Structure 1
Amino acid sequence: MLADIRKIAALAWPVLIGQLAIIAFGVIDTAMVGRYSAIDLAALGLGNSIYISVYLGLTGVVLALQPIAGQLFGARRYTEIGEEARQALWLAAALAIVGFVIMYFPAPLLAIAHVPPALYDRTDLYLRITAIGLPAALAFRVYSGLANGIGMPRLVMMLQVAGLAAKIALNYWFIFGGLGGLGVPALGGPGCALASTVVNFALAVIGLVLLVRLEVFAPFGIFKQFCWPSWRRQAGLLKLGLPMGLSFLIEVSSYAFMALFIARFGTTTLAGHQITGNFGAVLYMTPMSIGVATSTLVAHAIGAHNHDEARRLARRGIATACTIGCCYAAISFLLRPSIIAAYTPDAAVLAAAMPLIPIMLVYHLFDTFQTVTAFVLRAYRVAVVPTIIYAIALWGVGLGGGYLIGFNVFGNVPAWLNGARGFWAASAASLAAAGCGLFLHWRSISTRYAQEAAVADGTGTSSAPLSSVDQDS
């Protein structure tokens, strides 16, 4: 047991540090803009919710490379990894065009929220700037997906930490303006988007150079030859990536639409929701890092036909993440006044966030369970059924239930559940339902894999790892 936990931890801690660096982008944005103006903070929350929905939906498609590379690495089929990486770069380029159009012309999305005129222009500018940086962000995700898939997350972590250092300096410059002869006007919230765009391009360029220069990537021969898109391999990436991307989109869009609906309760409530969600995102980085690490090890085991080991590693990863999640929730509940005060000095915003934190911590516990389980399923290249589970739970129970409770549609909801609290409570329930569904599906899939492997061993045959064009289970 301890040996498995050590293996998971060895891969998880670099992922955690790297992801904390990335999530610190949002924390720094919120903290700095919160000291610039409440209007810019609300615009940041709204704009970032839309951006994250688009970005993560597209990222999910690109990150199909990670489990594919993981299984191929476990099977020692190195040249195929290089081909999959080249195809993933083509896919990222195509997806970037789609995302750019959505974010550079955000009027239809902003209309859903009935955004006040004071917020509209700031949010619109924020999204237009982030749209420019989207191609670079997706290119870097190809690099990170490949590095994580072969069990080298430190190569991603180092770049993400360096990006954070640059982000802090650029944020201060672009949000508040100044710096003598290099002065720029104070941009407020949109300044965060400009800083992130600059950093994303730097990370993308460095990541692509490392794919050429580092010895660890040499066996894959990623750039030894040019290739056009292969429709067979693109189909394989999309068969796994589209359900993954849709799962990400369902999960994040449910949160984004929460922000759009909560915006109707006013700027102060929206700002309190932004702080709560931002802190929840910080907590989420730990189960996500454990999920990535567990998924990598499980994929390697599947590629090497060690299905019993894959099941054992999956159970260890889920149990470890849930234990840590309970500790986080207890500590955060005790320290919640100090945590909120670190975000903003505004007493009204602080009061709006305080009752949301305990509900968010329950949300976090269920989120931990479903996150790691979902990553494990991706290691098996299973994505269709999880997507259906997400759609029913998050859009139906979470968003639909949140609307009914938060707006007290039927007039029978207790007062303490009205408004933003109702949306958070329904979201927590939705993640509980999703986690149970995903876990039961994983048990069924892993049992079937183990039984098929046992039959193959008994007959003296061996089934190869799933290719990128095999059917999803």
Structure 2
Amino acid sequence: MRSWQLAEPASRSVLSLAAPALVVLAAEPLYLLVDTAVVGHLGAVALAGLAVGGGLLAWAGALLNFLAYGTTARAARLAGAGNRAGAVAEGVQASWLALVLGVAVLVLFQLLAGPLTRLLAGSAGPVAEAGETWLRIASFGLPLLLLSLAGNGWLRGVQELHKPVRYVLAGSLVSLVLCPLLVFPVGLGLPGSAIANVAGQAVGAGLFLRALHREGVSLRPRPAAIRAQLGIGRDLLLRAAVLQVSFLVAAGVVAREGTAALGAHQIALQLFFLALVLDAYAIAAQTLVGHALGAERPDEARATARRVTLWGLGTGVVIAVLLVALRDVLPPLFSSDPAVLEQAAVVWWFLALMQPLAGVVFALDGVLMGAGDVGYLRTVTIGSALIGFLPLSLLSHPMGWGLAGVWTGLDLFIALRLVAVLARVAGRKWLSAGVAA
């Protein structure tokens, strides 16, 4: 009877926290779709330049997203213990860290924008020049983006997820309005896209900083707290780096299979945005588990883990069924090339099969992050990539497995992580993993 009494409120909390988290997660990809559509009307060179410059900026943001996830875990535990001021203070220190890291990466991009874009573009031609121009301007928004990540982190930790929705949507709206205006009527072309990006990030970061200031806590940096956040950040950074490298290697292998295979691979990866729905459960789990453990209620943390697992699994099954049902409808929306569609039919089943597994994996990732068990997540992710994803990807071309081999590796990567996180949550070590933090 007690487990049901814990689970029922948790069910409502999971959905109430996951819904706004989903909006925040979806805002950036949706803006990038609009930005891509606007720049696409400038021609192939501008579009390719945006892909190169935008890809580098997205990489930096993805690698440093521990500023959101790590801050949520620490802030949620403090908030659960009744120490809201301490939870907000974590946001202050995360914001200082975001500013320092953002400025450092900004300087790096200003120094190396040319070589990096030429490396990605494969030459010193007009595409590399366009990407360099865009990146030099847009990188000024990186410290602002990282400040927003830190703001998201502490607000999630204190279970105020509606404020990030308003702040992120406000910034995205500014970018959406400015992008087409600056690119065409004003006549700035591709640089107009970059300026609109920076303007939107400035609005979002300003709103997050205002929320922090209104809490009335000290805004001074505390080196000890920043070092503790860097400890969590190190593990999450290594985890993110391995993920990024794995996907890069897979893309390189698929490129050797020909244009049709690469096109189908890109379609499948674009549809991987469906994982945003599943990652929203991870954010809800992270917040709820951190609160429960901070309040010394391990039974509630376990109940939350069970609940988000069921929601993740159920949602993953629904997405898989939809993918199978629409397998003849969705691919033609992206390409009319018969060869690409033939390859897409191969990868489609792997994409669909992955969804229920990913639903559970992402949800339990959130549970373990909320518990501060990021060292385990780091080890599991790196191990699964080295055992499953990378070997099958690298063997796919010489063994003639093609796209099916690469996506078998990706599915195996998810499956190995699934076994590992299920085994961890079934035990008790995760319940005290973050006590020292």
**TM-score bin, normalised by smaller chain:** 0.7 to 0.9
C-alpha distance 38-332 of structure 1, shift in aligned 2 (>3 A): farther
Distance 1:340 1:421 in 2: 17
Give the aligned partner of residue 53 of structure 1.
Answer: 59
Distance 1:428 1:292 in 2: 23
Deviation by residue 1:113-136 (Cα, 9 ceiling, x = unmatched):
672546433444444343221100
Distance 1:352 1:33 in 2: 28
Give the aligned partner of residue 74 of structure 2.
Answer: 68
Give the aligned partner of residue 297 of structure 2.
Answer: 306
Retained in 2: the 8 A contact 1:394–1:434? Answer: no
1:137 aligned to 135, 145, 155, which one? 145
2:122 aligned to 111, 115, 125, which one? 115
Deviates more, 1:42-51 or 1:328-337: 42-51
Matches within 5 A, 1:269-348: 270-281=262-273, 283-343=274-334
TM norm structure 1:
0.80
Residue 264 of structure 1 and its aligned partner are, at CA, apart by: 5.2
State the AA in 2 paired with 1:70.
A
Give the aligned partner of residue 222 of structure 2.
Answer: 230
1:183 aligned to 172, 182, 187, which one? 187
Deviation by residue 1:244-264 (Cα, 9 ceiling, x = unmatched):
222223223422443455455
C-alpha distance 28-102 of structure 1, shift in aligned 2 (>3 A): same
Deviation by residue 1:245-294 (Cα, 9 ceiling, x = unmatched):
2222322342244345545556665454333322212x011111111111
State the AA in 1 paired with 2:359.
T
Other structure's SS at 1:64 match:
helix
Deviation by residue 1:371-430 (Cα, 9 ceiling, x = unmatched):
21111111111111211111121244213321221x22xxx33xxx41x44333312211
Tell me whether 1:435 sits opposite 2:418 in the alignment: yes
Retained in 2: the 8 A contact 1:12–1:293? Answer: yes
Distance 1:369 1:391 in 2: 18
Retained in 2: the 8 A contact 1:61–1:238? Answer: no
Other structure's SS at 1:63 match:
helix
Matches within 5 A, 1:324-403: 324-343=315-334, 353=344, 355-403=346-394
Give the aligned partner of residue 239 of structure 1.
Answer: 231
Aligned length: 429
Distance 1:29 1:421 in 2: 32
Residue 143 of structure 1 and its aligned partner are, at CA, apart by: 1.1
Residue 309 of structure 1 and its aligned partner are, at CA, apart by: 0.8
Retained in 1: the 8 A contact 2:373–2:430? Answer: no
Give the aligned partner of residue 458 of structure 1.
Answer: none
Retained in 2: the 8 A contact 1:280–1:361? Answer: no
1:159 aligned to 167, 171, 177, which one? 167
Deviation by residue 1:298-321 (Cα, 9 ceiling, x = unmatched):
111101111011011111101211
State the AA in 1 paired with 2:176.
I
State the AA in 2 paired with 1:325.
G
Residue 168 of structure 1 and its aligned partner are, at CA, apart by: 3.0
Distance 2:335 2:33 in 1: 11
Percent of residue pairs bearing the same amino acid type: 24
Tell me whether 1:96 sits opposite 2:102 in the alignment: yes
2:242 aligned to 244, 247, 250, which one? 250
Residue 138 of structure 1 and its aligned partner are, at CA, apart by: 0.3
C-alpha distance 433-118 of structure 1, shift in aligned 2 (>3 A): farther
Deviates more, 1:28-37 or 1:57-66: 28-37
Distance 2:428 2:103 in 1: 36
Runs (5+) with no aligned partner, structure 1: 451-464
C-alpha distance 18-226 of structure 1, shift in aligned 2 (>3 A): closer
Residue 435 of structure 1 and its aligned partner are, at CA, apart by: 2.1
State the AA in 2 paired with 1:161.
L
Distance 1:374 1:294 in 2: 9
Distance 2:49 2:337 in 1: 16
Q: CA RMSD in A?
A: 3.1
Deviation by residue 1:82-110 (Cα, 9 ceiling, x = unmatched):
33222111111221134324544256656
Deviation by residue 1:142-187 (Cα, 9 ceiling, x = unmatched):
111111111111111122233333333334345xx322xx2323x2
Distance 2:73 2:194 in 1: 31
